[in-house]
Amino acid sequence: MADYGTQPRMGFFTDTSVCIGCKACEVACKEWNGVPESGGLDLLGMSYDNTGALGSNTWRHVAFVEQPKKPAVDLGMPDVGAPAQDDPGVRWLMSSDVCKHCTHAACLDVCPTGSLFRTEFGTVVVQQDICNGCGYCVPACPYGVIEKRESDGRAFKCTLCYDRLGAGMEPACAKACPTDSIQFGELEELRERADERVRTLHDSGVPEARLYGRDPEDGVGGDGAFFLLLDEPEVYGLPPDPVVTTRDLPAMWKRAAVTAAGVAVAVAASFLGRRR
C-alpha cells in the first residue's frame, strides 16, 4: 500500500446485504456538499432509481435491482413464508455506489493542471478552483464516475467529504446510513471487517456473497471504496475486471522516446552526409 505518512489510509466499505435503499446517503451527500439537483423526480423506468448513475450532480447513487426469487423447491429446503411456486416474488439487490478512490487512479495521471490530487487520507479529490474543464479525467476513469457539470464545464465527483475528515468527522453519507451499510474507517481495518462479514454470510447459507474492489492486486491496485455484493458485479452496473486506463503510459512514453531518438539520429546522419 502507498505511504501516506503518519495518517492511515481511509475509505468506505459498503455492505450491500444490509442496504434498504432509503437514499439517506444520497440526500446527506447533496446537502453537505451543495450538490445540485440531478433530475429530481424523473421516472427512469429503473425501479425506484431516479438518479440513474454517478455523475457530476450525483456523488452517491443508490442502485435498485429487482430479481425474481427462486421457488422454494429449487433451494432444496423448505422456506417458511415463501411465495407460491408459481409466484416466486422478487429479490431486491440494493447498493449505494460512489467514487472508488482507486489506489492507481488514472484520473490523477491524466490531469494536466494538478486539480486532481491525493489527500493525506489516501483519497482522490478535485480542486474546483484549479480545474480547467479539459475533461481528460472523464474517459480515464475505469468506473465512469467523473463527469463535467454542464452548468460550468468543470469536473466533479465524491471527495469522501475531505472537509469533514479534516475536522475529525466521518463522511456525511456514512453518518446518515441507518443500517451501517456504508462503513467508514481505516482501510486495512475495513478489509478485515469485510472478510469476516463474507465468512459469516457464507456460513449462514449465502454462498453468492463476494467482495468487489477489496483486492490490492486487482487492475486498479484495490479500491479505497469497496463493496460486498450478492451477485456478479455486472448486475449492479459495475465493471467485472476494472483496469487503470493509464497502465501502458510508461511503456508508450518509452517507445515514443526511443522512436524520437532514432528519428533524430537519422536526421542528423542525413544532414552530415549532405555536408560531405
137 assigned to a ligand binding site: yes
CA 111 centroid distance within chain: 18
Residue 253 annotated as binding site:
no
Annotated binding residue at 71? no
Burial class (CB in 10 A: 0-12, 13-18, 19+), 178: exposed
According to DSSP, the β-strands at 116-118 and 90-98 are unpaired
User: Are the C-beta atoms of 245 and 143 separated by less than 8 Å?
Assistant: no
Give CA 3 to chain center in angstroms: 21
Q: Is 134 annotated as a binding residue?
A: yes
Is residue 72 part of an annotated ligand binding site?
A: no
The annotation status of 111 as a binding-site residue, yes or no, is: yes
222 annotated as belonging to a binding site for a ligand: no
Burial category of 26 from C-beta neighbours within 10 Å (exposed 0-12, middle 13-18, buried 19 and up):
buried
Grid coordinates representing 76 are: 432444496
- Please check if 264 is assigned to a binding site: no
Q: Is 18 annotated as a binding residue?
A: no
22 annotated as ligand-binding = yes
Is 85 part of any known ligand binding site? Answer: no
36 assigned binding-site residue: no
For residue 173, say whether it is annotated as part of any ligand binding site: yes
Residue 145 labelled as part of a binding site:
no
Q: Is 107 annotated as a binding residue?
A: yes
For the annotated binding site, the residues are: 19, 22, 25, 29, 99, 102, 107, 111, 131, 134, 137, 141, 158, 161, 173, 177
For the annotated binding site for [4Fe-4S] cluster, the residues are: 19, 22, 25, 29, 99, 102, 107, 111, 131, 134, 137, 141, 158, 161, 173, 177
